[in-house]
């Protein structure tokens, strides 16, 4: 029987997002598994997974805001903009104050134009930039518009700063580190990164791969799943009648009188079975757009 669920993994360092997906497929025995936002191997933290028919919800998370905390190191830049890369140029002496770093970070907040790192999954004529960069081919990336809601420098320890940030989808925290080093004229790279939130999913909801494997072996995997009513909290929920659920199964429109002002609604059978996401056609008439049964 397919497992239709949402689970939040605390991704370990050194693993790609694809590695985590493959591991969870094996643990839970569900072939259809996807993630809601790639994390670089260096990074740890929140990696929400959608399993079974819940993979159909990916379309609602394409522009999700993400939150991070981590460290950046001054004195040298790297070709990947993070600790996994090779140094670029000479090392520079680091003699900056916390106030100077905070002032340099200020222009990197708000709606900004950001240049993606050359070693990234950003595609150039259909080819990921990192593949071209590894072949020493010239990588011509264009700036993209991103939104940095918060970029707070919280501490300075010698050549290393601690920070937290909240950014739009498509923002590279590695690029923030590189740009900050350029602004201070001393070079910088991302030394460590932990994602603390993706959309409504947080670290408090996350589980290690070992904990997931143990729960699956003990037959208590349900304890680790995100309750469906906590998914897409901005969309209101309604519990449907058996008659309406029958209509939804056949792709027919349903009348939901209490939802006359909402463009979308989550339709449930009982408290925990998400039947579909329906969009309003007119008045209180809704059409099942994403059916999960």
Which residues are part of the catalytic machinery?
A: 40
* Phi, psi (degrees; rounded to nearest 5) at 75: 115, -25
Neighbour tally for 287: CB within 10 Å = 15
The Cα angle at residue 220 between residues 215 and 223, in degrees rounded to 5 = 95
Give the residue from 148, 176, 154 showing the smallest Cα distance to 98: 154
C-beta of residue 179 within 8 angstroms of C-beta of residue 27: no
The H or E element that residue 17 is part of is helix 17-28
- For tokens 């990197």, the residue is 108
How do 285-291 and 188-198 pair as beta strands?
A: unpaired
Contact 190, 173 (CB under 8 A): yes
Long-range Cβ contact pairs of 165-168 (< 8 A, separation 24 or more): 165/67, 165/68, 165/69, 166/65, 166/66, 166/67, 166/68, 167/65, 167/66, 167/67, 167/68, 168/63, 168/65, 168/66
- Work out whether the CA dihedral 165, 231, 249, 255 comes out positive or negative: negative
The helix or strand, by DSSP H or E, that contains position 174, with its residue range, turns out to be: helix 173-184
> Is the separation of the CB atoms in 5 and 57 below 8 Å?
no
Locate tokens 């770093």: which residue?
Answer: 101
């Amino acid at each position: 029987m397919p497992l239709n669920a949402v689970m939040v993994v605390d991704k370990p360092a050194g693993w790609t997002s694809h590695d985590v997906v493959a591991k969870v497929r094996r643990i839970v025995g569900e072939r259809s598994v996807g993630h809601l936002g790639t994390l670089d191997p260096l990074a740890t933290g929140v990696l929400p997974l959608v399993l079974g028919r819940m993979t159909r919800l990916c379309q609602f998370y394409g522009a999700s805001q993400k939150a991070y905390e981590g460290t950046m190191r001054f004195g040298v830049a790297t070709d990947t903009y993070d600790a996994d890369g090779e140094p670029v140029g000479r090392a520079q002496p680091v003699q900056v104050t916390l106030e100077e770093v905070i002032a340099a970070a200020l222009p990197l907040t708000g709606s900004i134009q950001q240049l993606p790192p050359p070693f990234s999954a950003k595609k150039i004529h259909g080819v990921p930039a990192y593949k071209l960069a590894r072949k020493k081919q010239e990588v011509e990336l264009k700036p993209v518009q991103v939104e940095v809601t918060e970029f707070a420098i919280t501490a300075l320890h010698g050549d290393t700063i601690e920070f937290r940030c909240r950014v739009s989808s498509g923002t590279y925290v590695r690029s923030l580190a590189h740009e900050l080093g350029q602004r201070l004229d001393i070079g910088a790279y991302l030394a460590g990164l932990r994602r603390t939130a993706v959309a409504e999913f947080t670290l408090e909801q996350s589980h290690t791969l070992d904990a997931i494997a143990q729960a699956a072996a003990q037959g208590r995997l349900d304890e680790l799943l995100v309750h469906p009513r906590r998914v897409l909290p901005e969309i209101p929920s309604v519990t449907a009648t058996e008659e309406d659920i029958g209509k939804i199964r056949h792709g027919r429109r349903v009348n939901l009188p209490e939802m006359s002002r909402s463009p979308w609604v989550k339709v449930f059978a009982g408290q925990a079975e998400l039947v579909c996401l329906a969009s309003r056609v007119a008045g209180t008439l809704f059409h099942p757009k994403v059916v999960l049964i």
